[in-house]
Amino acid sequence: MEKTDFFSPDTEIQALLHAVQTGVLLCSGACSVTFANSVAQDFFSRAGLDAIGQPCHKALFGSEARCEGCPVERADLEGKRQAVTLKAHEGDIYLKIFCQIWQGQCLLTLHDVSQEISLLRRSDLDRKELQAKNILLERRRRLNQEEQQFLTQIMDNLPEALLAVDENFLVQRKNKAVLDLFPRQMGGHCYALFGNSAPCLDCPAQRGFSEANGQKKSHETGGRVYTEIFSVAPNGKGGLLLFRDITRQVELIGQIRGQREEIASKNKVLSLLVDFGIYMQKEAGIKEVAGYFLDAILPDLHAGAAGLIINDIRAGNIWLSHQSGMTTEEWKTVTKACMSRDQQRFKSDGLLADTVLPWPNSTQIPLMGAQGQRVGLVLLEGSINQEALGILRLVTEPLGAYFHNQLLLRQLEEKANKDALTGLFNRGYLTQSLEEAQEKFHGYGIHHALVLGDVNQLKKINDQYGHETGDRLIVAVAEALRSTLRNTDIAARTGGDEFIVLLNNSADEDAGYFIERLQTRVFSSLTLPLPDGSEFPVTVSLGKAATDKHPPEALAKEADRQMYAAKERFYATASRYR
């Protein structure tokens, strides 16, 4: 092919090439740069290079030899694509180069991909920071560069969609990239690319392309995001519109933002866990810990009403209850349901019925102890997804361990309130339990009953066989009482031969059944072996009273009266000792 040594495009073509937003170089047959448009000149100026008159391979690559596969030497080739990095004071300039022969000259287009390279590098840094979060950022961005021809060819070889429009936005010329970018939009005006029948809202060119020169506008259609860059046409009439598909960049930026938000969120959770752990170690009061959990920790993890229930060591009782965002009546209904024996069997699946909770949707998180038993419940308004539930469990697990330890301490305290001889509770513990029962009666209308018992003929056994035998009689009565109790009831030894049983969630009739069961099934056949080989029948006089028949403060007096009446009936058939 005949090679021209020098080519200088005319003024109109130069103006058009200067208006193109992609770098363009024209080289002679000897590969010397004869023309560089304004974009290309800016690249070389920033890199401190002078391209005009220099061989293109030396100006771009610093090489004295022509590039391998140079189209100047191989005219039969369609063209050559290369990449080069120009060192500049303000930062490296990354260029994609496409070289081809046009009219005997070597035509090079320089596409600045520095922004894409910078985005991909920043994305890679954020991806490394997240590592275990299983979110990978794509690092490649497809670049569309079509072959160029003079005028139409030059435009078609641009990698981005380029339109030439008149003052009324009527399309005068468009390159092939337009069809690739907008395959379904075939209108006569530029705004038809986005399915509009009038100029786009806030279009800068509505005030003229001279004012819009260099400005950018974003468009979003069909799930893609485009940037439109405005330039004045070389002849001053109309303008050039360059469209770039920046969907990938937007996605990368969104992913980066999402990753940073996720990191910030997890850092916040870790901070809450540390603060909560320190608070639980320093704060001895269970009420303060419960309040801190609901008022200071939970609002950062859950929006909505919430409640906290901690079981007591005895079924049928609640040791602690705390709520936020519920009315008094709503919380009363919830806590009353938690006092049932079935609910407080310390099983991990013991959740409340949905009908008890005041919300259409709810989430219940069991608080578990070290041995896997349930020590309480966290009640939350609304449904929670698995990810949020997992984060909440990071807080509820140490909270469950804390309350489990507190319950263990409470069990140790309970052992200190046991009668040394019988193992039953003492009067102090009974008084505390009776106060709790009265609170449930006044707050929830849950009845309770007292059964008083007095061992018959204990003094006779003490005098005739010694106090050791008398103690065995007392222990036998205690064992008989213990064998008939539910896990919600309390039996206490309050004197030498006196016992009191607190029957929780029981009416007067229930107390009557309890006494009948003791007398007919237990004491009727219970005897105590004596040192002389004989058997002494164990009998106890019993009296009862319950809140469905008597005020709470009158129970002890009424049960005592009935107990003495029963003792009189016993001695009506048995001889009194002294």
% of the chain residues with pLDDT over 70: 89
Q: How confident is the model over 413-434, as a mean pLDDT?
A: 86
Tell me which of 124 and 286 has the higher pLDDT.
286
Q: Is the pLDDT of residue 51 over 80?
A: yes
Q: Outline where DSSP puts E strands in 295-373.
A: 306-311, 318-324, 362-368
CA 5/CA 105 separation, integer angstroms: 8
CA 509/CA 515 separation, integer angstroms: 10
Q: Is the pLDDT of residue 344 over 60?
A: no
381: left (phi over 0), alpha (psi -120 to 50) or beta: beta
- Locate 153 and state its tokens: 């060819």
Q: Do 321 and 308 touch, CB atoms closer than 8 A?
A: yes
Indicate the fold that domain 11-112 takes in CATH: Beta-Lactamase (3.30.450)
Q: Write the CB contacts of 386 (distance below 8 Å, at least 6 apart in sequence).
A: none
Considering only CA atoms, which of 106, 243, 109 is closest in space to residue 165?
243
Q: Is the pLDDT of residue 77 over 80?
A: no
Q: Helix and strand tally (H, E) in the chain?
A: 16, 20
Q: Do 39 and 22 touch, CB atoms closer than 8 A?
A: yes
Q: Is the pLDDT of residue 142 over 50?
A: no
Query: DSSP letters of 384-452?
Result: --HHHHHHHHHHHHHHHHHHHHHHHHHHHHHHTTB-TTT--B-HHHHHHHHHHHHHHHHHH---EEEEE
Q: Write the CB contacts of 117 (distance below 8 Å, at least 6 apart in sequence).
A: 94
pLDDT score, position 148: 34
Confidence band of 265 (pLDDT split at 50, 70, 90)? confident
Q: Three-state secondary structure along 37-92?
A: CHHHHHHHHHCCCCCCCCEHHHHHHCCCCCCCCCCCCCCCCCCEEEEEEECCCCCC
Confidence band of 548 (pLDDT split at 50, 70, 90)? very high
Ranking 150-154, 404-408, 493-497 by mean pLDDT, the lowest is 150-154
Which contiguous run of DSSP H or E holds residue 344? none
Alpha-carbon Rg for the chain in angstroms: 46
**The model's pTM:** 0.47
Q: How far is CA 507 from CA 97, 276, 389, in A?
A: 94, 44, 42
Please return the burial class of 551, using the count of CB atoms within 10 Å of its CB with bins 0-12, 13-18 and 19+. Answer: exposed
pLDDT score, position 184: 66
Q: Is the pLDDT of residue 138 over 80?
A: no
φ/ψ (deg, to 5) at 158: -70, 140
Q: Is the pLDDT of residue 234 over 60?
A: yes
DSSP state at residue 200: P
φ/ψ (deg, to 5) at 218: -100, 145
Q: Do 357 and 306 touch, CB atoms closer than 8 A?
A: no
CA 167/CA 199 separation, integer angstroms: 12
CA 399/CA 289 separation, integer angstroms: 9
**The CATH number fitting domain 427-571, selected from 3.90.1640.10, 3.30.70.270, 3.40.50.2300, 3.30.750.200:** 3.30.70.270
CB atoms within 10 A of CB 12: 10
Confidence band of 1 (pLDDT split at 50, 70, 90)? very low
**The CATH number fitting domain 283-407, selected from 3.30.565.10, 3.30.450.40, 3.40.50.360, 3.30.2130.10:** 3.30.450.40
pLDDT score, position 57: 84
- Locate 496 and state its tokens: 């030498």
Q: Is the pLDDT of residue 152 over 80?
A: no
Q: What's the distance, CA 316 to chain centroid?
A: 34
- Locate 565 and state its tokens: 């009446």
Helix, strand, coil distribution of the chain in percent, nearest 5:
40, 25, 35
Amino acid at 275: D
User: Torsion angle of alpha carbons 42, 44, 45, 50, nearest 10°?
Assistant: -130
pLDDT score, position 363: 92
Tell me which of 432 and 416 has the higher pLDDT.
432
Widest pairwise Cα distance in the chain: 146
Would you say how long the chain is, in residues? 578
Partner residues linked to 221 by β-bridges? 224
pLDDT score, position 456: 93
Q: How far is CA 469 from CA 349, 462, 497, in A?
A: 48, 7, 13
Indicate the fold that domain 160-245 takes in CATH: Beta-Lactamase (3.30.450)
Identical fold, 11-112 and 427-571 = no
Angle at 424 between CA 518 and CA 340, to 5 degrees: 70
User: Torsion angle of alpha carbons 343, 349, 353, 359, nearest 10°?
Assistant: 120
Q: How far is CA 8 from CA 11, 38, 44, 52, in A?
A: 9, 15, 20, 12
Please return the burial class of 129, using the count of CB atoms within 10 Å of its CB with bins 0-12, 13-18 and 19+. Answer: exposed
**Of the segments 70-74, 93-97, 261-265, which one has the largest average pLDDT value?**
93-97
Q: Taking the domains of the chain in order of start, what are their residue ranges?
A: 11-112, 160-245, 283-407, 427-571
